[in-house]
Structure 1
Amino acid sequence: KCSVKLHCLHGGYTDPRRCDRCRCPDGFTGKLCDKIMGGYGATCGGEIPMNNLYYYFNSPNYPQNFDEGQECSWLLRVRWRRDFCLMAPVGQFVQLEFVGSTFELYCKMEHSLCMDYVEIRNASDFANTGM
């Protein structure tokens, strides 16, 4: 057990085996979960400041397929609220749209394993999954 509890960000917690660092939720890294995890198998991901009404970004190699095993994590952040990523003003809403004639999420039914997925987290605590 750790004698000091670290101030981990984004829902991370003090690693009980290495008390000098945090265990981070998927998509975050760094000693205090203060960094966006870089792309795995691709150059992609990062923090996107949502300063404009619309913002477009795409997966690696778009519009072609990306390679198996690639992972990207993006954090969409509204600059005036550090604790929340996307928050619409009262009376408005946030809309995410996935476009493309070949957009697909591939799952292997025999193993119940999804190879492609999109995960959206709706909170300041990114350890909680789902919407």
Structure 2
Amino acid sequence: SSIVFSHLAEAGRGDLQALHFGGVGLGIAASSALLAILVTKHADWSAGWLWSGAISLAGLLLVALLAGSARPANGVAGREPALPSDRSLTKMIVAYGLFGFGYVVTATFLIAIVRQGG
């Protein structure tokens, strides 16, 4: 978020900060609408992938136009310093990865889990 907000600040577009957080919901709504249309047209799965890719590309271009400059607002040039190699950081990365993986698996198969639960 800080990276996106610094780019928006540099472009003078602080009014777009809410869209950064609303983008996930907008993406869910757009993909649902797209699939509703494709299902009524009896399109196959490949059409869903192609149209999703086209909409994603359009969204990327829109963001590039709205956000503007690629220079960060803090004025610091160059790469960020390397992260310290620390066991606690490694543990945190692994924990977040495992929790995220568990969340994705559960969310993916939630309907099947609910149906089997009676």
* TM-score normalised by structure 1 residue count: 0.23
The structure whose residues are more often helix, as a share, is: 2
Radius of gyration: which is bigger?
2
- Whose RCO is larger (CA < 8 A, sep 6+)? 2
